[in-house]
Amino acid sequence: MTLVAAVQMVSTPDVAENFDTAARLVAEAAQQGAQLVTLPEYWPIMGMTDADKIAHAEQAGDGPIQQFMSALAARHRIWLVGGTLPLVSGQEGKVLNTLLVYGPDGQAVSRYDKIHLFGFTRGEESYNESKTIVPGSAVGTFEAPFGRVGLSVCYDLRFPELYRAMGECTLIVVPAAFTHTTGMAHWEVLLRARAIENQCYVLASAQGGVHRNGRRTFGHSMLVDPWGEVKSLLREGEGIVLGNVDPGVLARVRESLPALKHRTL
């Protein structure tokens, strides 16, 4: 079995403050034996405006946020799924919302640029990520010692075809900053659906609380098993979720209900 962890944060506009929080929570997870740890979406900065992250955009392979994640993975000898950070996009006034994965040696091993950009309006609550983010175009996975890991971010959760395109995974990760409104309605049911239909573990690392910019995120970081059962959950606030990825459970689910083999499309 492999112990995995999801970090839940309530990120601020202060990057240094967020570094301190992430370092403390990742260390806590590693001390408890986690071999893979994921950070939430927007963990390095949750600005007062959506455009604030543009000033912190880094070139791929260089910059303080990437250096921090690389060092953190190497220090604790873990696989670190680095939530998301802003990378330079080539389009003025816009960034890529990028998930980077680092191995236990601190080397970057995989990258995924968020494909689906969140848009939601209800009353005075309104979000439009496409104003400041350029969408990615390529599916992201990597091979961990315990199996293939599929990479996705937040709003991607609503698009099951993305997960089918990953192939058979042992684990899918979902760093997120779900709003409280949409999270209350859809977060858990979508996570459990992705686990059930892909017969794999799903590890979701969320923002969870009221941020300094007034935004409220839903939290509820969790690990869901291939049968769709929630194995570990943190509702709100900073903290970690821990649970095992058990190859025996994975095999039993796929043997007793071989839905992946019954696919015709």
Mean pLDDT of 13-17: 98
Residue 235, both tokens: 């509702």
- Assess whether pLDDT exceeds 90 at residue 247: yes
* Domain membership flag for residue 20: yes
Question: Which of 201, 85, 80, 69 lies closest to 133, judged by CA?
Answer: 85
The residue ranges of DSSP E strands in the chain, in sequence order, are 2-8, 36-38, 79-81, 85-88, 95-102, 108-113, 119-122, 125-128, 140-144, 147-151, 171-176, 201-206, 221-224, 230-234, 239-245
* Domain membership flag for residue 75: yes
pLDDT digits (tens, 9 = 90+) for 143-172: 999 999 999 999 999 999 999 999 999 999
Query: How many CB atoms lie under 10 A from the CB of residue 120?
Result: 13
Residue-level pLDDT at 54: 95
φ/ψ of residue 151, rounded to 5: -110, 130
CATH number at residue 64: 3.60.110.10
Query: How many CB atoms lie under 10 A from the CB of residue 31?
Result: 9
- The residues with which 12 forms a beta bridge, in sequence order, are none
- Give residue 68's domain range: 2-256
Q: Helices H, strands E: what count in the chain?
A: 6, 15
Given 53, 94, 114, 231, the catalytic residue: 114
* Domain membership flag for residue 114: yes
* Domain membership flag for residue 177: yes
Residue-level pLDDT at 124: 83
For the chain, what is the largest distance between any 2 Cα atoms, rounded to a whole number of angstroms?
52
* Domain membership flag for residue 261: no
The pLDDT-based confidence of 127 (bands split at 50, 70, 90) is confident
* Domain membership flag for residue 263: no
Given 129, 154, 231, 236, the catalytic residue: 154
d(CA 177, CA 193): 19
**Residue 235 Ramachandran class (φ > 0 left, ψ -120 to 50 alpha, else beta):** alpha
pLDDT digits (tens, 9 = 90+) for 169-215: 999 999 999 999 999 999 999 999 999 999 999 999 999 999 999 99
pLDDT digits (tens, 9 = 90+) for 48-67: 999 999 999 999 999 999 99
Residue-level pLDDT at 265: 82
The pLDDT-based confidence of 109 (bands split at 50, 70, 90) is very high
d(CA 146, CA 140): 17
d(CA 156, CA 218): 16
Total structural domains within the chain? 1
The pLDDT-based confidence of 32 (bands split at 50, 70, 90) is very high
143 belongs to the catalytic site = no
188 belongs to the catalytic site = no
200 belongs to the catalytic site = no
